[in-house]
Amino acid sequence: MNKPLLPGMPLTPDDAIEVHRFIAIDVETTGFVSAEECHRMVEIALVTIENGKITDQWSSLLWPDRIVPYDVTAIHGLSLEELQDAPRFADVWLEIQKRIENSVWVFHNASFDLHFLVYEMKRLGVDLQQPIVDTLELARKFLNQRSHSLPTLAQTLELPVTPVHRSLSDTLATAHLFLRLLSTVREQRTLITLGDLQKAQGRPTPWPKIEICPPPEPYALYLHQKTPVRLTLSGGEIFRQFEGHLEGATVGTQAAFYTLRNSDGERHVLSCEEILKVEPISPQKSSCSTPAHLQQLKLF
């Protein structure tokens, strides 16, 4: 009888599939993978699979510190209004970490979701790499279907969950698809260890290469010191002003966004393209230069 891996034990390809904990992961985002626009998560869900059964599910909305384009909201239904009270990824990281560490990560189209997960971990200074199983790659090899999209497979295989472009439904569908694929693959070839499963998948998922852009001055200083600021925005012939604290930033190579929380606790996301001026509301004694420790990514 295979004994389950103890917490902290490394995962190896030679271990039997049954001893591994598998975590199906799905995220909803503000857009596609883009270093220029630097899109972010707006929702994440994790479903735990142990001994061939779903044993746990968890999900959370996430504040993205950037705008959500209208055409993307039309897909998953999540706008900044719906996300006003959502935590940031850093706020729920411990809940995520205890589920995904020492586990095999299961995605449908792994390269997409993995990019956003690694991006958020890198912002926190976390380097966590686990074995990956991609149900899309397995489905392409072992299921004779015209389309291998998650909604199509859920329908044709009559999975008990229908994905609706929300993280929890999509993750549950991925988990059920994974269990179905295990049975299908075992009918066609020997499947005993994690290594056997990885060989059956064939093409491994490349680990994403991600660069994090820190906020420029003076935003980095104001974010770190929680300085009350006034932002003047352009709007044609009309100028608008916002006052509050900068509490988050998303910076890409060609775009940057900042979250400002006003005195009423309301969050506003402002694009650097529309910001004409940022200034402290009250004089600050500290230097305007950025201390070296402000470059720590976890500060924004």
Cβ contact 117:29 at 8 Å = no
The token pair at 163 is 């994905």
Q: Judge whether residue 4 has pLDDT over 90.
A: no
Q: Which residues face 235 on adjacent strands?
A: 238
C-alpha 31, offset from chain centre:
11
Instruction: Quote the pLDDT of residue 203.
Output: 86
Cα dihedral 163/166/169/173 (nearest 10): 50
Taking residues 202-211, report their average pLDDT: 91
Q: Judge whether residue 3 has pLDDT over 60.
A: no
C-alpha 300, offset from chain centre:
16
Domains (ranges, CATH) in the chain? 17-201 (3.30.420.10), 219-299 (2.30.30.520)
Cβ contact 254:37 at 8 Å = yes
| Most distant pair of Cα atoms in the chain: their distance | 74
- Taking the C-alpha atoms of residue 265 and residue 84, their distance in angstroms, rounded to an integer, is 10
Lowest mean pLDDT among 171-180, 196-205, 279-288: 279-288
The burial class, CB within 10 Å (0-12 / 13-18 / 19+), for 126 is: middle
Instruction: Quote the pLDDT of residue 15.
Output: 84
pLDDT by residue (tens digit) across 90-148? 999 999 999 999 999 999 999 999 999 999 999 999 999 999 999 999 999 999 999 99
Predicted model pTM: 0.89
Helix (H) or strand (E) holding 138: helix 135-142
